[in-house]
Structure 1
Amino acid sequence: MAILVSGHASFEPLQLFQGDAWLYRPRELAHFIGYAGSVMIVWSAMRFYTTRAALWVPQAIGGLGVATLLFYFFGSVAVKELIGALVVKALCQLLPLYLGGCYVMDNVRSLRPGWLKPMPALTASVLLLVSTSLLWEVLVQPLVSVYGGPPRGHVQLAQLTCDFAGIAIGWCLAAPWVRQIQSRLDRTMCLHLPNDSAP
Protein backbone atom coordinates (compact mmCIF):
# COMPACT_ATOMS: atom_id res chain seq x y z
CA MET A 1 0.00 0.00 0.00
CA ALA A 2 2.86 2.38 0.81
CA ILE A 3 4.35 1.82 -2.65
CA LEU A 4 0.99 2.55 -4.29
CA VAL A 5 0.61 5.75 -2.27
CA SER A 6 4.15 6.86 -3.12
CA GLY A 7 3.72 6.20 -6.82
CA HIS A 8 0.10 7.13 -7.44
CA ALA A 9 -1.17 9.49 -4.73
CA SER A 10 -1.26 13.14 -5.60
CA PHE A 11 -1.85 16.13 -3.35
CA GLU A 12 -0.38 19.55 -2.80
CA PRO A 13 2.71 19.38 -0.59
CA LEU A 14 2.11 20.53 2.96
CA GLN A 15 4.85 22.58 4.62
CA LEU A 16 4.60 22.92 8.39
CA PHE A 17 7.88 24.81 8.83
CA GLN A 18 10.30 26.65 6.54
CA GLY A 19 12.71 24.67 4.37
CA ASP A 20 12.63 21.59 2.15
CA ALA A 21 13.29 19.34 5.15
CA TRP A 22 9.72 19.93 6.37
CA LEU A 23 7.89 19.30 3.08
CA TYR A 24 5.16 16.64 3.39
CA ARG A 25 4.38 14.94 0.06
CA PRO A 26 2.98 11.54 -0.98
CA ARG A 27 6.39 9.99 -0.29
CA GLU A 28 6.17 11.02 3.37
CA LEU A 29 2.67 9.55 3.61
CA ALA A 30 4.09 6.33 2.14
CA HIS A 31 6.78 6.34 4.86
CA PHE A 32 4.06 6.68 7.50
CA ILE A 33 1.99 3.78 6.10
CA GLY A 34 5.03 1.61 5.39
CA TYR A 35 6.54 1.95 8.84
CA ALA A 36 3.20 1.35 10.56
CA GLY A 37 2.83 -1.93 8.66
CA SER A 38 6.48 -2.83 9.14
CA VAL A 39 6.02 -3.03 12.91
CA MET A 40 3.73 -6.04 12.43
CA ILE A 41 5.78 -7.52 9.59
CA VAL A 42 9.00 -7.50 11.61
CA TRP A 43 7.19 -8.78 14.73
CA SER A 44 5.59 -11.61 12.75
CA ALA A 45 8.90 -12.52 11.15
CA MET A 46 10.52 -12.73 14.58
CA ARG A 47 7.72 -14.91 15.91
CA PHE A 48 8.32 -17.52 13.18
CA TYR A 49 11.49 -18.42 15.05
CA THR A 50 9.68 -19.48 18.24
CA THR A 51 8.97 -23.05 17.13
CA ARG A 52 10.71 -25.50 14.88
CA ALA A 53 7.45 -26.15 13.05
CA ALA A 54 7.24 -22.53 11.85
CA LEU A 55 10.87 -22.23 10.70
CA TRP A 56 9.93 -23.36 7.20
CA VAL A 57 8.15 -20.03 6.55
CA PRO A 58 11.21 -17.68 6.59
CA GLN A 59 13.24 -20.35 4.81
CA ALA A 60 10.60 -20.64 2.09
CA ILE A 61 10.43 -16.86 1.66
CA GLY A 62 14.21 -16.65 1.32
CA GLY A 63 14.21 -19.59 -1.09
CA LEU A 64 11.48 -17.96 -3.17
CA GLY A 65 13.53 -14.77 -3.41
CA VAL A 66 16.67 -16.65 -4.49
CA ALA A 67 14.67 -18.74 -7.00
CA THR A 68 13.09 -15.59 -8.47
CA LEU A 69 16.54 -14.06 -9.04
CA LEU A 70 17.84 -17.28 -10.59
CA PHE A 71 14.84 -17.49 -12.94
CA TYR A 72 15.35 -13.86 -13.93
CA PHE A 73 19.08 -14.10 -14.61
CA PHE A 74 19.06 -17.52 -16.28
CA GLY A 75 15.53 -17.69 -17.68
CA SER A 76 14.08 -16.85 -21.05
CA VAL A 77 13.09 -13.37 -22.18
CA ALA A 78 9.45 -14.15 -21.36
CA VAL A 79 10.40 -15.06 -17.77
CA LYS A 80 12.42 -11.85 -17.45
CA GLU A 81 9.47 -9.79 -18.68
CA LEU A 82 7.11 -11.63 -16.32
CA ILE A 83 9.27 -10.96 -13.26
CA GLY A 84 10.25 -7.43 -14.23
CA ALA A 85 13.36 -5.36 -13.60
CA LEU A 86 11.78 -3.45 -10.71
CA VAL A 87 11.13 -6.67 -8.77
CA VAL A 88 14.69 -7.83 -9.39
CA LYS A 89 16.12 -4.49 -8.28
CA ALA A 90 14.09 -4.63 -5.07
CA LEU A 91 15.13 -8.25 -4.45
CA CYS A 92 18.81 -7.44 -5.02
CA GLN A 93 18.57 -4.73 -2.38
CA LEU A 94 16.33 -6.47 0.15
CA LEU A 95 17.23 -10.16 -0.11
CA PRO A 96 20.73 -9.83 1.45
CA LEU A 97 19.18 -7.91 4.36
CA TYR A 98 16.43 -10.52 4.72
CA LEU A 99 18.86 -13.45 4.64
CA GLY A 100 21.15 -11.65 7.10
CA GLY A 101 18.14 -11.08 9.35
CA CYS A 102 17.31 -14.80 9.16
CA TYR A 103 20.85 -15.62 10.25
CA VAL A 104 20.63 -13.18 13.17
CA MET A 105 17.20 -14.50 14.21
CA ASP A 106 18.47 -18.08 14.13
CA ASN A 107 21.24 -17.05 16.55
CA VAL A 108 18.77 -15.14 18.74
CA ARG A 109 16.61 -18.26 18.84
CA SER A 110 19.58 -20.26 20.11
CA LEU A 111 21.16 -17.73 22.47
CA ARG A 112 18.30 -15.50 23.70
CA PRO A 113 14.95 -17.26 23.16
CA GLY A 114 13.23 -14.90 25.63
CA TRP A 115 13.63 -12.07 23.10
CA LEU A 116 11.19 -13.92 20.85
CA LYS A 117 8.30 -13.81 23.31
CA PRO A 118 5.47 -11.61 22.03
CA MET A 119 6.12 -8.34 23.92
CA PRO A 120 9.94 -8.41 23.77
CA ALA A 121 9.68 -9.20 20.04
CA LEU A 122 7.39 -6.19 19.54
CA THR A 123 9.83 -3.96 21.42
CA ALA A 124 12.71 -5.32 19.35
CA SER A 125 10.83 -4.70 16.10
CA VAL A 126 10.16 -1.08 17.13
CA LEU A 127 13.82 -0.54 18.09
CA LEU A 128 15.00 -2.10 14.83
CA LEU A 129 12.72 0.16 12.76
CA VAL A 130 13.68 3.31 14.69
CA SER A 131 17.38 2.55 14.26
CA THR A 132 16.88 1.78 10.55
CA SER A 133 15.07 5.08 10.03
CA LEU A 134 17.73 7.04 11.91
CA LEU A 135 20.56 5.34 10.04
CA TRP A 136 18.96 5.94 6.63
CA GLU A 137 17.51 9.43 7.14
CA VAL A 138 20.19 10.95 9.39
CA LEU A 139 23.39 9.31 8.14
CA VAL A 140 23.14 7.62 4.73
CA GLN A 141 21.01 10.04 2.69
CA PRO A 142 22.35 13.34 4.06
CA LEU A 143 26.03 12.33 4.15
CA VAL A 144 26.67 9.32 1.89
CA SER A 145 24.30 8.89 -1.04
CA VAL A 146 20.67 9.10 -2.11
CA TYR A 147 19.91 5.96 -4.16
CA GLY A 148 23.29 6.02 -5.88
CA GLY A 149 23.32 9.79 -6.40
CA PRO A 150 25.04 12.50 -4.40
CA PRO A 151 24.16 12.99 -0.72
CA ARG A 152 21.26 15.30 0.10
CA GLY A 153 23.20 17.46 2.54
CA HIS A 154 20.31 17.78 5.01
CA VAL A 155 17.98 15.55 7.00
CA GLN A 156 14.45 15.26 5.63
CA LEU A 157 12.72 15.91 8.93
CA ALA A 158 9.28 15.37 7.39
CA GLN A 159 10.20 11.79 6.45
CA LEU A 160 11.79 11.19 9.84
CA THR A 161 8.69 12.39 11.70
CA CYS A 162 6.47 10.29 9.43
CA ASP A 163 8.68 7.24 10.08
CA PHE A 164 8.42 7.73 13.85
CA ALA A 165 4.69 8.48 13.71
CA GLY A 166 4.12 5.33 11.62
CA ILE A 167 6.14 3.23 14.07
CA ALA A 168 4.16 4.68 17.01
CA ILE A 169 0.82 3.98 15.30
CA GLY A 170 1.97 0.47 14.37
CA TRP A 171 2.95 -0.16 17.99
CA CYS A 172 -0.37 1.24 19.29
CA LEU A 173 -2.32 -1.00 16.92
CA ALA A 174 -0.23 -4.09 17.64
CA ALA A 175 0.37 -3.81 21.39
CA PRO A 176 -3.13 -4.76 22.64
CA TRP A 177 -3.20 -7.79 20.37
CA VAL A 178 0.36 -8.80 21.32
CA ARG A 179 -0.42 -8.40 25.04
CA GLN A 180 -3.40 -10.71 24.59
CA ILE A 181 -1.20 -13.32 22.90
CA GLN A 182 1.40 -12.96 25.69
CA SER A 183 -1.31 -13.37 28.32
CA ARG A 184 -2.58 -16.56 26.69
CA LEU A 185 0.95 -17.95 26.47
CA ASP A 186 1.59 -17.09 30.12
CA ARG A 187 -1.64 -18.86 31.18
CA THR A 188 -0.71 -21.90 29.09
CA MET A 189 2.75 -22.03 30.67
CA CYS A 190 1.18 -21.85 34.17
CA LEU A 191 -0.96 -24.89 33.36
CA HIS A 192 2.14 -26.92 32.49
CA LEU A 193 4.22 -26.02 35.55
CA PRO A 194 4.59 -28.71 38.20
CA ASN A 195 2.37 -28.27 41.24
CA ASP A 196 4.66 -27.85 44.28
CA SER A 197 1.80 -28.21 46.73
CA ALA A 198 1.01 -31.76 45.62
CA PRO A 199 2.07 -34.51 48.08
Structure 2
Amino acid sequence: MGVTLIMLAIKLNRFLTFDPIYLVGQRREWLVGPREIAHLIGIAGCTVGGWYFISSFASKLLICWNLALTVAFVVGVASMGPESQWLYDAFGITPLELYVNLSTIYLGAWIWLALTAWAVPNMLRFRPALIISCIFMVVTIGLWELYTQPFVHVYDGPARGWIQASQVACDLLGVLVGALLVLFTNYQARRP
Protein backbone atom coordinates (compact mmCIF):
# COMPACT_ATOMS: atom_id res chain seq x y z
CA MET A 1 0.00 0.00 0.00
CA GLY A 2 2.87 2.39 0.79
CA VAL A 3 4.52 1.98 -2.60
CA THR A 4 1.15 2.37 -4.32
CA LEU A 5 0.53 5.67 -2.54
CA ILE A 6 4.03 6.90 -3.42
CA MET A 7 3.54 6.02 -7.11
CA LEU A 8 0.12 7.69 -7.07
CA ALA A 9 1.68 10.82 -5.56
CA ILE A 10 4.37 10.92 -8.27
CA LYS A 11 1.71 10.62 -10.97
CA LEU A 12 -0.51 13.26 -9.34
CA ASN A 13 2.43 15.65 -9.07
CA ARG A 14 2.97 15.38 -12.81
CA PHE A 15 -0.60 15.34 -14.07
CA LEU A 16 -2.93 16.95 -11.48
CA THR A 17 -3.78 20.53 -12.33
CA PHE A 18 -5.87 23.07 -10.49
CA ASP A 19 -5.48 26.68 -9.43
CA PRO A 20 -3.64 26.83 -6.11
CA ILE A 21 -5.57 28.12 -3.10
CA TYR A 22 -4.42 30.01 -0.02
CA LEU A 23 -5.00 28.32 3.32
CA VAL A 24 -4.22 31.46 5.34
CA GLY A 25 -4.60 34.97 3.96
CA GLN A 26 -2.84 35.77 0.70
CA ARG A 27 0.66 34.70 1.76
CA ARG A 28 2.79 32.57 -0.54
CA GLU A 29 3.83 30.42 2.44
CA TRP A 30 0.27 29.06 2.63
CA LEU A 31 -0.36 28.39 -1.06
CA VAL A 32 -1.65 24.83 -1.68
CA GLY A 33 -1.51 23.37 -5.16
CA PRO A 34 -1.14 19.99 -6.83
CA ARG A 35 2.39 19.50 -5.48
CA GLU A 36 1.25 19.85 -1.87
CA ILE A 37 -1.56 17.34 -2.41
CA ALA A 38 0.93 14.95 -4.00
CA HIS A 39 3.21 15.44 -1.00
CA LEU A 40 0.39 14.59 1.40
CA ILE A 41 -0.31 11.32 -0.42
CA GLY A 42 3.37 10.48 -0.93
CA ILE A 43 4.29 11.12 2.71
CA ALA A 44 1.36 8.93 3.77
CA GLY A 45 2.82 6.22 1.52
CA CYS A 46 6.30 6.71 2.99
CA THR A 47 4.89 6.37 6.51
CA VAL A 48 3.04 3.15 5.62
CA GLY A 49 6.04 1.79 3.73
CA GLY A 50 8.39 2.71 6.57
CA TRP A 51 6.17 0.91 9.08
CA TYR A 52 6.05 -2.21 6.93
CA PHE A 53 9.79 -2.17 6.30
CA ILE A 54 10.62 -1.72 10.00
CA SER A 55 8.15 -4.31 11.27
CA SER A 56 9.18 -6.82 8.61
CA PHE A 57 12.54 -7.25 10.34
CA ALA A 58 10.73 -9.01 13.20
CA SER A 59 10.24 -12.06 10.94
CA LYS A 60 12.93 -14.12 9.20
CA LEU A 61 10.49 -14.91 6.39
CA LEU A 62 9.84 -11.21 5.74
CA ILE A 63 13.56 -10.44 5.92
CA CYS A 64 14.05 -12.98 3.11
CA TRP A 65 11.12 -11.42 1.22
CA ASN A 66 12.73 -7.96 1.56
CA LEU A 67 16.05 -9.33 0.36
CA ALA A 68 14.34 -10.90 -2.67
CA LEU A 69 12.59 -7.60 -3.47
CA THR A 70 15.89 -5.74 -3.12
CA VAL A 71 17.62 -8.10 -5.55
CA ALA A 72 14.67 -7.85 -7.96
CA PHE A 73 14.82 -4.04 -7.76
CA VAL A 74 18.57 -3.92 -8.41
CA VAL A 75 18.32 -6.38 -11.32
CA GLY A 76 15.27 -4.57 -12.71
CA VAL A 77 16.93 -1.16 -12.62
CA ALA A 78 20.18 -2.55 -14.03
CA SER A 79 18.33 -4.20 -16.91
CA MET A 80 16.60 -0.95 -17.92
CA GLY A 81 19.77 0.72 -19.07
CA PRO A 82 20.86 4.22 -18.10
CA GLU A 83 18.46 6.08 -20.40
CA SER A 84 15.16 4.22 -20.00
CA GLN A 85 12.61 6.59 -21.49
CA TRP A 86 9.45 5.05 -19.98
CA LEU A 87 10.71 5.54 -16.41
CA TYR A 88 11.56 9.16 -17.18
CA ASP A 89 8.20 9.72 -18.90
CA ALA A 90 6.29 8.13 -16.03
CA PHE A 91 8.14 9.55 -13.03
CA GLY A 92 10.61 12.17 -14.26
CA ILE A 93 13.74 10.27 -13.20
CA THR A 94 16.29 8.07 -14.92
CA PRO A 95 17.06 4.54 -13.66
CA LEU A 96 20.51 5.68 -12.52
CA GLU A 97 19.04 8.53 -10.46
CA LEU A 98 16.51 6.13 -8.94
CA TYR A 99 19.18 3.60 -8.08
CA VAL A 100 21.65 6.10 -6.60
CA ASN A 101 19.02 7.94 -4.54
CA LEU A 102 17.33 4.86 -3.14
CA SER A 103 20.24 2.46 -2.70
CA THR A 104 22.13 4.49 -0.11
CA ILE A 105 18.99 5.06 1.97
CA TYR A 106 17.93 1.43 1.65
CA LEU A 107 21.37 0.07 2.56
CA GLY A 108 21.55 2.29 5.63
CA ALA A 109 18.06 1.23 6.70
CA TRP A 110 18.97 -2.46 6.25
CA ILE A 111 22.04 -2.12 8.47
CA TRP A 112 20.19 -0.14 11.14
CA LEU A 113 17.23 -2.54 11.22
CA ALA A 114 19.42 -5.63 11.27
CA LEU A 115 21.25 -4.22 14.29
CA THR A 116 17.94 -3.27 15.91
CA ALA A 117 16.50 -6.76 15.32
CA TRP A 118 19.56 -8.21 17.00
CA ALA A 119 19.83 -5.76 19.93
CA VAL A 120 16.24 -4.64 20.66
CA PRO A 121 13.77 -6.93 18.85
CA ASN A 122 10.74 -5.42 20.63
CA MET A 123 11.29 -2.17 18.68
CA LEU A 124 10.16 -4.02 15.55
CA ARG A 125 6.67 -4.87 16.84
CA PHE A 126 3.54 -3.19 15.49
CA ARG A 127 3.24 -0.01 17.58
CA PRO A 128 6.95 0.76 18.11
CA ALA A 129 7.55 0.28 14.38
CA LEU A 130 4.73 2.69 13.58
CA ILE A 131 6.05 5.25 16.07
CA ILE A 132 9.58 4.95 14.64
CA SER A 133 8.24 5.39 11.11
CA CYS A 134 6.28 8.50 12.11
CA ILE A 135 9.22 10.00 14.01
CA PHE A 136 11.56 9.33 11.08
CA MET A 137 9.16 11.04 8.68
CA VAL A 138 8.63 14.08 10.96
CA VAL A 139 12.40 14.50 11.44
CA THR A 140 12.97 14.18 7.68
CA ILE A 141 10.24 16.74 6.97
CA GLY A 142 11.71 19.09 9.54
CA LEU A 143 15.22 18.84 8.16
CA TRP A 144 14.11 19.22 4.55
CA GLU A 145 11.29 21.75 4.79
CA LEU A 146 12.45 23.83 7.77
CA TYR A 147 16.21 23.89 7.19
CA THR A 148 17.46 22.63 3.82
CA GLN A 149 15.00 24.31 1.43
CA PRO A 150 14.77 27.69 3.18
CA PHE A 151 18.48 28.05 3.98
CA VAL A 152 20.65 25.66 1.93
CA HIS A 153 19.16 24.75 -1.48
CA VAL A 154 16.01 23.67 -3.25
CA TYR A 155 17.04 20.65 -5.31
CA ASP A 156 19.57 22.11 -7.77
CA GLY A 157 18.65 25.75 -7.19
CA PRO A 158 19.38 28.32 -4.51
CA ALA A 159 17.72 28.36 -1.08
CA ARG A 160 14.13 29.54 -1.03
CA GLY A 161 14.65 32.01 1.82
CA TRP A 162 11.28 31.28 3.43
CA ILE A 163 9.44 28.28 4.88
CA GLN A 164 6.65 26.86 2.77
CA ALA A 165 4.16 26.37 5.62
CA SER A 166 1.51 24.74 3.43
CA GLN A 167 4.01 22.07 2.37
CA VAL A 168 4.95 21.40 6.00
CA ALA A 169 1.27 21.17 6.97
CA CYS A 170 0.48 18.79 4.10
CA ASP A 171 3.54 16.66 4.90
CA LEU A 172 2.60 16.38 8.58
CA LEU A 173 -0.98 15.59 7.63
CA GLY A 174 0.42 12.89 5.34
CA VAL A 175 2.25 11.31 8.30
CA LEU A 176 -1.04 11.30 10.23
CA VAL A 177 -2.97 9.82 7.30
CA GLY A 178 -0.31 7.12 6.85
CA ALA A 179 -0.41 6.22 10.55
CA LEU A 180 -4.20 6.07 10.48
CA LEU A 181 -4.11 3.81 7.41
CA VAL A 182 -1.75 1.42 9.21
CA LEU A 183 -3.95 1.43 12.33
CA PHE A 184 -7.14 0.95 10.30
CA THR A 185 -5.80 -1.92 8.20
CA ASN A 186 -4.38 -3.61 11.31
CA TYR A 187 -7.74 -3.21 13.05
CA GLN A 188 -9.57 -4.63 10.01
CA ALA A 189 -7.16 -7.58 9.79
CA ARG A 190 -7.78 -8.49 13.44
CA ARG A 191 -11.57 -8.33 13.28
CA PRO A 192 -13.31 -11.70 13.37
1:4 is aligned to 11
Larger radius of gyration between Structure 1 and Structure 2 = 1
Give, as a single letter, the amino acid of the residue that structure 2 aligns with 1:57: W
Asked if the contact 1:119–1:178 (Cα under 8 Å) also holds between the matched residues in 2, the reply is no
What secondary structure sits across from 1:6 in the alignment?
A: helix
- 1:45-97, CA deviations, whole angstroms, 9 ceiling, x for partnerless residues? 11221121221222223323433454456x8x7xx456655333222212211
Task: Quote the offset at 1:181 in angstroms.
Answer: 6.9
The Cα RMSD (Å) is 2.5
Asked if the contact 1:3–1:30 (Cα under 8 Å) also holds between the matched residues in 2, the reply is yes
TM (normalized to structure 1)? 0.80
Tell me which moved more, 19-28 or 174-183.
174-183
Task: Quote the offset at 1:106 in angstroms.
Answer: 0.7
- 1:6-26, CA deviations, whole angstroms, 9 ceiling, x for partnerless residues? 110011100122322111010
Give, as a single letter, the amino acid of the residue that structure 2 aligns with 1:43: W
1:20 is aligned to 28
Asked if the contact 1:50–1:113 (Cα under 8 Å) also holds between the matched residues in 2, the reply is yes
Distance change >3 Å, CA 174–CA 81, structure 1 → 2: closer
- 1:109-157, CA deviations, whole angstroms, 9 ceiling, x for partnerless residues? 1111110011111111111111111111011111111112111111111
Asked if the contact 1:58–1:102 (Cα under 8 Å) also holds between the matched residues in 2, the reply is no
What does 1:39-54 correspond to in 2, within 5 Å? 39-54=47-62
Give, as a single letter, the amino acid of the residue that structure 2 aligns with 1:27: R
Query: Could you tell me which of 141, 160, 164 is aligned with 1:156?
Result: 164
Gaps of 5+ in 1: 184-199
- Paired residue total: 180
Query: Could you tell me which of 128, 131, 135 is aligned with 1:127?
Result: 135
What secondary structure sits across from 1:29 in the alignment?
A: helix
Give, as a single letter, the amino acid of the residue that structure 2 aligns with 1:56: C
What does 1:54-93 correspond to in 2, within 5 Å? 54-72=62-80, 80-81=84-85, 86-93=94-101
TM (normalized to structure 2)? 0.83
Tell me which moved more, 16-25 or 82-91.
82-91
Give the Cα–Cα distance (whole angstroms) in 1 for the partners of residues 78 and 62 of structure 2: 25
Gaps of 5+ in 2: 1-7
Task: Quote the offset at 1:2 in angstroms.
Answer: 0.4
Give identity over the alignment, percent. 29
Give, as a single letter, the amino acid of the residue that structure 2 aligns with 1:157: A
Give the Cα–Cα distance (whole angstroms) in 2 for the partners of residues 7 and 83 of structure 1: 13
Task: Quote the offset at 1:31 in angstroms.
Answer: 0.7
Tell me which moved more, 62-71 or 21-30.
62-71
